[in-house]
A = this chain, B = another copy of it.
């Protein structure tokens, strides 16, 4: 079992260990296991049955309230009335496919594309981030006539057959596919003088050289600019510029996977890549795009899109349906009207400051880092400095007891992944910090 595999199991319900479960919950879990079978993935030793969501909160079947510091899909808040209303209205009016013209679809495409720099002016609408990255793979292959891709060592880019190959965090027994090279996550602490930009670019260059030597050629790199699954590495802003330059020089495409950092999460604007001052060749998006309505997208230049459609007739039946467009438009409206990007920056800074204060108080906290409302917090053994995934697991489960949902990330699973809805406010922040302090104090 790889180190990566440990993360996935860290917070995962174990179907072989149900002895301490209340009978009603056991019956509910049994129903899920009976239908979803081996593919069932439930959180927590005792899974939670949810019944309602609102803003930054989820409510379980016993009426217990959970502050959601984990879920980034309901990005503008659970069941945001603007988004719900837009979905309901459009679903009741017209829901068809993009072989017909539908005004709201063009309107959405124009609104979304206006947030990207030229020449990124074409949009392919899909239903998931996985489908978006699957299209991006083929665009890069067609543009470069190469098959080799580079990703970070614990990256996750989605679940299709092709995208699984570039998602090492999904691997169980198998190794990376022959046409994929991994580079370590860009952790400044590992770089001489902290110059992670130079180190990351050098590692990418070595991977490019290796792909070429082995005959695969170099098609591109997939990177989410916050390195979410790797443990969240955001700083310093701009460190991706050298990597992007190396990729371009080698004739490859830089694919910015904005499924995680996109739609304002990092607090510096709509897109994570902009924080680094780079312009990618392809941008992919998913999760927060429709606040839970299944939709994803690929943005690229007309030149690259033409190269893709030369080889295949791509059509996505549900992609770009008017209900998705309505949901997506409402999300863009809410982000603007509720100043959610500024809130991500301000509340994110408040949260990070509070966590840094906890770090000076509790030596189990090895590091706090991130951008906007995407923050990573490492637990390390105070004596040895070694990653402490057991502590992360303890905190995750204790947080659940205290009504807070949180998860872990990173190669060793010792990084708390702090990623709440963007409507997270000062009160939520205080609730989270107070609870974390209480839990840490109890472990002393």
A contact set with B: CB distance below 8 Å: 5, 8, 28-29, 31-32, 34-43, 47-53, 58, 61, 71, 73-74, 78-79, 81, 83-84, 87-88, 91-103, 105-106, 109-110, 113, 121-124, 127-131, 134, 137-138, 159-162, 164, 169-174, 286-287, 292-295, 302, 305-306, 308-318, 320-321, 323-324
Contact = CB atoms under 8 A, between A and B. Distances in A.
Contacts of A73: 96-97, 317-318
Given A71-B96, A84-B88, A101-B32, A41 B294 contact: no
B159 A100 contact: no
A172 B109 contact: no
B88 A47 contact: no
5 contacts: A50-B102, A73-B317, A87-B88, A91-B292, A173-B310
Nearest to A58: B96
A31 B161 contact: no
Contact of A172 (B95, B101, B313): B313
A292 B323 contact: yes
B122 A95 contact: no
A357 B172 CA distance: 60
Contacts of A51: 93-94, 102-103
A1 to B, nearest CB: 12
A321 B292 contact: yes
Nearest to A129: B317
A383 B161 CA distance: 48
Contacts of A98: 36, 40-42
Nearest to A12: B99
Contact of A28 (B47, B106, B172): B106
B122 A302 contact: no
Contact of A29 (B97, B101, B169): B101
A103 B159 CA distance: 25
Given A99-B42, A317-B287, A134 B110 contact: no
Contacts of A29: 101
Overall SS of chain A's interface:
mixed
Nearest to A315: B41
A123 B35 contact: yes
Contacts of A122: 35-39
Contact of A42 (B100, B313, B317): B100
Contacts of A93: 51-53, 79
Contacts of A32: 101, 105-106
A50 B128 contact: no
Nearest to A99: B43
Contacts of A127: 127-128, 131, 294, 318
A417 to B, nearest CB: 13
A157 to B, nearest CB: 12
Given A161-B134, A161-B160, A317-B287, A35 B91 contact: no
Tell which of A83, A103, A160, A316 has the most Cβ of chain B within 10 Å.
Answer: A160
A42 B98 CA distance: 7
Given A88-B88, A172-B313, A312-B170, A138 B124 contact: no
A309 B40 CA distance: 10
A41 B286 CA distance: 22
Given A48-B100, A100-B48, A172 B311 contact: yes
A35 B174 CA distance: 40
Contacts of A310: 172-173
A29 B31 CA distance: 49
A317 B162 contact: no
Contacts of A138: 161
A306 B58 CA distance: 31
A88 to B, nearest CB: 4
A58 B100 CA distance: 11
B94 A53 contact: yes
A352 B352 CA distance: 68
A269 to B, nearest CB: 21
A134 B161 CA distance: 6
Contacts of A131: 127-128, 130-131, 159-160
